[in-house]
Amino acid sequence: MAPTALLSVSDKQGLVPLAEALHRLHGFRLLSSGGTASALEAAGLPVTRVAEYTGAPEILGGRVKTLHPRVHGGILAKRDDPSHQADLAAQAIDPIDVVVVNLYPFRETVADPAVSWATAIENIDIGGPAMVRAAAKNHADVAVLTSPSQYDAFLAALAAGRVDGALRRQLALEAFRHTASYDSAISTWMAARPELANAEGSPIEEPALGAGEPLRLELPLQQGLRYGENPHQPARWYSQGGAGWGGAIQLQGKELSYNNLIDLEAALATVREFGYGPAGSAGEPNPGLPAAVVVKHTNPCGVATGADPAGALGRALDADRVSAFGGIVALNGLVDAAAASQLTSLFLECVVAPAFSPEARQLLAAKPNLRLLELAPAALALASGVQLRSLLGGLLVQDLDDEPAQEDGWQVVSARQPSGAELDDLRFAWRLVRHVRSNAIVVAAAGQSLGIGAGQMNRVGSARLALEAAGERAQGAVLASDGFFPFDDTVRLAASCGIAAVIQPGGSMRDGDSIKACDALGLAMVTTGRRHFLH
Residue 505: which CATH number?
3.40.140.20
Residues in contact with 193: Cβ distance below 8 Å, sequence separation at least 6, in sequence order: 117, 204
Which residues span the domain enclosing 420? Answer: 409-527
Whether 117 and 50 share a structural domain: yes
Q: Are residues 41 and 169 in the same domain?
A: yes
Assess if residue 219 is contained within a domain. Answer: no
Please give the full DSSP string across 380-403, using - where no structure is assigned: HHHS-SEEEEEETTEEEEEE-S-P
**Same domain as 166, residue 292:** no
Q: How many helices (H) and strands (E) does the chain have?
A: 20, 21
> Given 363, 380, 397, which residue is the final one in a domain?
380
Statement to judge: residues 326 and 423 lie in one domain: no
pLDDT category of residue 90 using cuts at 50, 70 and 90: confident
Give me the mean pLDDT over the 393-407 stretch: 87
69-82 pLDDT, tens digit per residue, is 888 888 988 888 88
- Annotated catalytic residues are 137, 297
- Domain assignment present for residue 237? The answer is no
Average the pLDDT over 189-212 and give the result.
56
User: In terms of domains, do 134 and 48 share one?
Assistant: yes
Q: Residue 159 falls within a domain, yes or no?
A: yes
Q: What is the mean pLDDT of residues 404-422?
A: 94
| For residues 239-267, average pLDDT | 91
Claim to verify: residue 371 and residue 476 sit in the same structural domain: no
Nearest-angstrom CA–CA distance, 147 and 183: 17
According to the model, what pLDDT value does residue 524 have? 97
pLDDT of residue 183: 83
Residue 94 DSSP code? -
Number of CB atoms found within 10 A of residue 459's CB: 23
The model's confidence at residue 184, banded by pLDDT at 50, 70 and 90, is: confident
Residue type, 428: F
Residue 284 belongs to some domain of the structure: yes
- Residue 56 sits in a domain whose CATH number is 3.40.50.1380
Longest dimension (CA), the chain: 99
Whether 68 is covered by a domain: the verdict is yes
Is 386 inside a domain boundary? no
Q: In this structure, is residue 394 part of a structural domain?
A: no
- Residue 325 to residue 339: CA distance in whole angstroms: 17
Q: Please give the C-alpha separations between residue 40 and each of 7, 46, 48, 65, in angstroms, as whole numbers.
A: 10, 8, 10, 17
Instruction: Return the exposure string of 279-296: e unless at least 16 CB atoms fall within 10 Å of the residue's CB, then b.
Output: eebeebeebebbbbbbbb
Q: Looking at the structure, do residues 373 and 420 belong to the same domain, yes or no?
A: no
Same domain, yes or no: 92 and 131: yes
Is there a single domain that holds both residue 10 and residue 82? yes
490 in any annotated domain: yes
What rounded mean pLDDT belongs to the chain?
88
68 and 183 fall within a common domain: yes
Alpha-carbon torsion (513, 516, 520, 525), positive or negative? positive
Residues 277 and 332 in one domain: yes
pLDDT at 198 over 60: no
Instruction: Count how many domains the chain has.
Output: 3
